[in-house]
Amino acid sequence: MADILDWTSANLDTLDGATHEARAGEMAARLVEQTGSGELPFLTMSYMAGLKQQLSNLKDYLKGFDHMLLLGIGGSALGARALQKAFFPQQDQPGHNGPSLWIADNVDAYALESYLATLPAEKTVIVTISKSGGTIETVGQYFIFKEWAQKKLGDEWNRHMLLITDEEEGFLRTEADRNTIKTLPVPDNLGGRYSVLSAVGLIPALFLGIDIDSLIDGARDVVAPLIDPTLTGQTLSRHPSFQLATWAASLLDKGFDEMIFFAYIPLWASFGDWFAQLWAESLGKEGKGSQPVPAIGVTDQHSVNQMFMDGIRNKACLFLTCPTLPAGPRFPNDLPDQFDYVRGKNFGELIQAEGLGNRMALSQNGVPLVELSMGDDGPKQAGKLIALLGAATILTGWLMGINPLDQPAVELGKRLAKARMNADGLEEEKADMDAFLSADRDTREF
């Protein structure tokens, strides 16, 4: 089946999209310029030929391990987790005895101590991901596991390490060169939230046996027109990523400042968290943007859907479905009369009915909605979704007049945290920290 965007409930007739649509020529020229200059590796994937060779060389190496511990945070982890949940669900199911991927993406002492106590060092590879090599949440864990591996494995410790970082600079690059540790590069100009189809996401996918070629092929199908040096505004105006971008920008003009990502493909629910970072970190700039809200169908019909349906009318929705999900077992025929409507039907029919019902209900309650109906729930379709949403995010940012590739605001919290740990060179932040901590607090017991 085909992959389809259904615009029927997008409320296009109530939005003024013409202003944004008229900028297709300008956006096309910008794409041609920036893809040609290497500024958009997420789209061009110019690094892919070299990466594929490196991945091929590492395939047998990775087969020698039963466990992979991924040290990363934000974009260094969210894409890998989405792929794991979508295409390696058996790790979360009873009786699993194959490879296992563990993702340490937070400052969580409980989890860290569990990994240290239970992972078999001789069958574990530790993958540390940080483009800059200075992300303390990640590199701090690397220090701890480096010491652990040295104690457990002796001179063989470095064989159990794999670093994904900048090709030339940063602490992890220096560490790799000093200790002869295997490395893979994070390409220049490829921010973490756009990096899932680089070594960042493909190494864990390869370890789990996910079809990475199909992932890449799906993404390339979507981006091919966008990286054509002859791209015109007319061609771009027909591309689904630009159509999504003009819709999103037009929604903002009308005050729709929340974007729900409602996933009715259960195994793909973690793509909602991946999308949330992509959308928020790219578009939350200069007092602008819409808040992404990941939601899981059917689960969140029984929780936050009341707000979506009957709360403030500031929400739009990307509604992810797949009509070819497994049928599942049949409901028994011997059911109480009050449940006779499911008697003899397949369990899988229920999520399709729930999805249709909720999609209709959201639309009838004034929520502009675009359905992303995937013809299949395989890796190729996931690659297409990743590329479509990434490209749409970039184009939305451009239409908003902001840079969708940086994240200046998140750096302040990082600097203040380092100041709290007494890092050098942060005198202004330390003074602010002292003032904050010494101020009178309004505290109340509960």
Report the C-alpha gap between 317 and 326 in whole angstroms: 25
429 is catalytic: no
Report the C-alpha gap between 390 and 396 in whole angstroms: 10
Angle at 211 between CA 61 and CA 239, to 5 degrees: 135
Determine which one of 52, 345, 414, 430 is catalytic: 414
CB atoms within 10 A of CB 50: 12
Q: Which amino acid is at 380?
A: K
Instruction: Please say whether the beta carbons of 298 and 354 come within 8 A.
Output: yes
Contacts of 243 (CB under 8 A, 6+ apart): 5, 7, 237
Report the C-alpha gap between 407 and 403 in whole angstroms: 9
Report the C-alpha gap between 413 and 71 in whole angstroms: 20
281 is catalytic: yes
CB atoms within 10 A of CB 2: 7
Determine which one of 21, 137, 175, 281 is catalytic: 281
How far CA 139 is from CA of 67, 89, 132, 183, 352, in Å, comes to: 20, 28, 10, 15, 44
Determine which one of 168, 302, 427, 445 is catalytic: 302
- C-alpha R_g of the chain: 23
Tell whether the torsion through CA atoms of 262, 265, 269 and 270 is positive or negative: negative
414 is catalytic: yes
Active-site positions read 281, 302, 414
